[in-house]
A and B are shown apart, each in its own frame.
Chain A
């Protein structure tokens, strides 16, 4: 018999699994890049309020991570992504998108400038083939390190207090999109002030061998600050309130689309601020410059919708009456508990979708087996639905 074990057939367990599993009363899991990831642990609504009211902990380990280093690392990244990476100094983190030659988004993610010339790229999807193809002609090394780094998101107004209580001295100096290193029981712990919730929050990165110890220390430190483990449902709600994009929701990775016209450019996703035409050449530059001249086909919109029925999978219309005026569709929708607003992200055909525009959303909802249809008025807004001052405060307040 072959002594080599076959590749794991079922779901992988994150190094935090032993800690999450006992807290998981609902036993609802889904697959995330091969890992089991909890939908919600005890009650999605309450987990959400841990994000907005206390400290919420989410297991980020399945997030795809690559280490990029070598003499050409900066040139390489600058050719890869649309923003100017020369401006991202060591100790800083940048949200970035990268495109194919046609200027269509392959994915978005965060790039951590760990040390001079050494970077970590984190994304939802896996891109090793693209990253390697992009390395042709560059002296750069790319290693996949998803399994080598355990990661937690620690988010919410008391997250700073929790982490300080854990002994992370000087964390108060860390600005949004900054990163710093601490010693944790003899191992390096990286902390970045980043997150997917639009609130005050941090992300913790550590050797998987120390994952359980980190969890234990974190929960001990956070006990007085209402620390709670949360699942994906709560995170997703906070993500929509913050107006962040998600792959497979707001866009499809361009290299995976089969049909023509189903991918999106960063300009169409409202990420103009991430596209720097003044920096050296980057993937998609020519196509995006042309799109800027000739106009985009689509426009991502944040919608404030009247009423309280979430506009899941809705069509968007230019006018209330007459279904010929369909201009797009909703990609993510939620009732925002903190804003008491009916919010959604969607995509509409340009030139529709300018801030201040009024559009109509066709909502179907069910009440005791009966389906109802409603045309709800919605306005296009340009700011995130939720952007509390504490998110940017440095040093952060205690709660």
Chain B
């Protein structure tokens, strides 16, 4: 009975792997089917130019949940850890931000930053607790949901009157107002704004950007690292854990459809025509792709497809990879600084102005940039003496007016290089090869509809019990035996594993109840 499984996971992204491994640890016979040749989804390392490799999408690890590490005994070796964020200044007086301190600013700003981070850390810890639980359903009499809701209320009150007030005030606010109220330094305001908007279709003035900032901190308090061997190492480690627990992983096996019979999932059919049977099918694909392509509208209902249709899931973050024949020269940086996280966001208005064109389907002429030189600490990624730059660059809207033609890509890449040149005048001459992945490319290569790194925009109206949409927010879909486990579900994207872990627990709990 080779083709019968207790559970089939569609997609070997990091969440799919976490989910599969946890199901297997509960003695399930689990099959993972991955369309690409490599496991990891958007968390992979791949060669983009001869001899040069890079983390293709996600490149920093800062959210992998301790619960996931513990459950699966993951101990990723990091090439860089507890990275400092260096916010580049025109005059070379760069800021250096750590989780609780900042240098290069006035004493007042430094003190404010310390307090700001303290509060944000406290709130993100509260948030983190709920990231690792399936969101409760509202209006049900289910005991578990009532407990979770009651606990949420209690946790808020436990913050103390003043902090609770502050939490309720801040959660819907924008980062712009918060940073302008607190700080003097434009560079500091810019760097914090960048963290709040990276990966979203939001500018610092958009309400909700405090929430996205908290989300970023809700892993390791914002400490980021670069895995040795790139992000693919994490996926490989997860895959190894899964295999160790007995999971069968088959790559280069794109799934054509999830088979639904009499209102319940019974298996999957691959593009090559193979059928695998299981009464539990878990999709690590994004919600739109899962519903509209893998399941098919006829198996769900109109209100549901309408909500899925209106799910906002258009990415703005592009990845630029440069193969360099040497490290670029950035005035004011010491040699070891190249191991850190370097950002270009000179002030909060700059970030907002970078966002403006994205609203109209245009890319930013002056983009915001988060860059790393992973080869600096990791020789496996580039030939000796050569280097790789990996950068998240924004904003590059998925629905670019006129589409992402070769010209449009070249234009945006030039804008990014031009922006970096302001700080690293020799960058252009050091480039020997480059790769720009726009959201359209990410959609095509990683099968994420809209190429959004969270699979669906991370805003309050698509968060918690309304993520991705109501009636699918607790990982179970309105089709019996069908589940979601990807970034489109609670709590969202980033290499955190929380969605995959929550989904696995939901599936196992459901079985226990039944």
Q: A and B: direct contact (Cβ < 8 Å)?
A: yes
Complex-state Cα separation, A137 to B306, whole angstroms: 10
- B263 interface residue per 8 A CB criterion: yes
Asked if B309 and A138 sit within 8 Å, CB to CB, the answer is no
Cβ contacts A270-313/B at 8 Å (1 or 0 each): 00000000001101111000000000000000000000000000
- B333 interface residue per 8 A CB criterion: no
Known pairs A136-B292, A136-B309, A286-B263; A281 contacts B298 (CB<8 A):
yes
Nearest chain A CB to B306 CB, angstrom units = 4
Complex-state Cα separation, A210 to B163, whole angstroms: 75
Asked if B301 and A283 sit within 8 Å, CB to CB, the answer is yes
Complex-state Cα separation, A133 to B304, whole angstroms: 10
Nearest chain B CB to A126 CB, angstrom units = 16
- B510 interface residue per 8 A CB criterion: no
Asked if B302 and A130 sit within 8 Å, CB to CB, the answer is yes
Q: Which residues from chain A contact B357 at a C-beta distance below 8 Å?
A: none
Asked if A138 and B297 sit within 8 Å, CB to CB, the answer is yes
Asked if A101 and B302 sit within 8 Å, CB to CB, the answer is yes
- A187 interface residue per 8 A CB criterion: no
Q: Which residues from chain A contact B260 at a C-beta distance below 8 Å?
A: 281
- B296 interface residue per 8 A CB criterion: yes
Complex-state Cα separation, A284 to B301, whole angstroms: 7
Known pairs A280-B298, A281-B263; A136 contacts B305 (CB<8 A):
yes
Complex-state Cα separation, A78 to B263, whole angstroms: 14
Complex-state Cα separation, A269 to B471, whole angstroms: 26
Known pairs A101-B471, A136-B297; A285 contacts B263 (CB<8 A):
yes
- A39 interface residue per 8 A CB criterion: no
- A100 interface residue per 8 A CB criterion: yes
What is the interface size of chain A, counting residues whose CB is below 8 A from a CB of the partner?
Answer: 19
Asked if A133 and B263 sit within 8 Å, CB to CB, the answer is no
Complex-state Cα separation, A75 to B478, whole angstroms: 19
Q: Which residues from chain A contact B292 at a C-beta distance below 8 Å?
A: 136-137
Asked if B298 and A133 sit within 8 Å, CB to CB, the answer is no
- A134 interface residue per 8 A CB criterion: yes
Give the residues from 297 to 315 in chain B that come closer than 8 angstroms, CB to CB, to chain A: 297-306, 309
What is the interface size of chain B, counting residues whose CB is below 8 A from a CB of the partner?
Answer: 17
Give the residues from 268 to 300 in chain B that come closer than 8 angstroms, CB to CB, to chain A: 292, 296-300
Complex-state Cα separation, A11 to B502, whole angstroms: 58
Q: Which residues from chain B contact A80 at a C-beta distance below 8 Å?
A: 302
Known pairs A101-B304, A101-B471; A137 contacts B263 (CB<8 A):
no
The residue in chain A whose Cβ has the minimal distance to the Cβ of B480 is A286
Asked if B297 and A133 sit within 8 Å, CB to CB, the answer is no
Cβ contacts B13-49/A at 8 Å (1 or 0 each): 0000000000000000000000000000000000000
- A79 interface residue per 8 A CB criterion: yes
The residue in chain A whose Cβ has the minimal distance to the Cβ of B310 is A133
Asked if B478 and A137 sit within 8 Å, CB to CB, the answer is no
Most chain A beta-carbon contacts within 10 A, residue among B263, B297, B300:
B297
Known pairs A101-B471, A285-B263, A286-B478; A137 contacts B301 (CB<8 A):
no
The residue in chain B whose Cβ has the minimal distance to the Cβ of A100 is B303
Contact of A138 among B298, B304, B306 (CB under 8 A): B298
Complex-state Cα separation, A214 to B200, whole angstroms: 62
Nearest chain B CB to A151 CB, angstrom units = 27
Asked if A281 and B302 sit within 8 Å, CB to CB, the answer is no
Q: Which residues from chain B contact A78 at a C-beta distance below 8 Å?
A: 298
Contact of A281 among B299, B303, B471 (CB under 8 A): B299
Asked if B298 and A79 sit within 8 Å, CB to CB, the answer is yes
Q: Which residues from chain B contact A281 at a C-beta distance below 8 Å?
A: 260, 263, 298-301
Most chain A beta-carbon contacts within 10 A, residue among B292, B296, B303, B306:
B303
Nearest chain B CB to A2 CB, angstrom units = 29
Complex-state Cα separation, A338 to B411, whole angstroms: 81
Cβ contacts B411-439/A at 8 Å (1 or 0 each): 00000000000000000000000000000
Contact of B298 among A75, A100, A101 (CB under 8 A): A75
Complex-state Cα separation, A102 to B302, whole angstroms: 11
Asked if A283 and B298 sit within 8 Å, CB to CB, the answer is no
Asked if A101 and B297 sit within 8 Å, CB to CB, the answer is no
The residue in chain A whose Cβ has the minimal distance to the Cβ of B304 is A101
Complex-state Cα separation, A283 to B263, whole angstroms: 12
Complex-state Cα separation, A130 to B303, whole angstroms: 9
Nearest chain B CB to A96 CB, angstrom units = 15
Asked if B304 and A137 sit within 8 Å, CB to CB, the answer is no
The residue in chain A whose Cβ has the minimal distance to the Cβ of B308 is A136
Complex-state Cα separation, A79 to B478, whole angstroms: 15
Instruction: List 26 A–B pairs whose Cβ atoms lie within 8 Å, in order of A's numbering.
Output: A78-B298, A79-B298, A100-B301, A100-B302, A101-B301, A101-B304, A101-B471, A102-B303, A130-B302, A133-B303, A133-B305, A133-B306, A133-B309, A136-B297, A136-B306, A137-B292, A137-B305, A138-B297, A138-B298, A280-B298, A281-B263, A281-B298, A281-B300, A284-B301, A286-B301, A286-B478
Give A contacts to B, CB under 8 Å: 75, 78-80, 100-102, 130, 133-134, 136-138, 280-281, 283-286
Query: A79-B298, A79-B301, A101-B301 provided; 14 other pairs, C-beta below 8 A?
Result: A78-B298, A79-B302, A101-B304, A130-B302, A136-B297, A136-B302, A136-B306, A136-B309, A137-B292, A137-B305, A281-B260, A281-B300, A285-B263, A285-B301
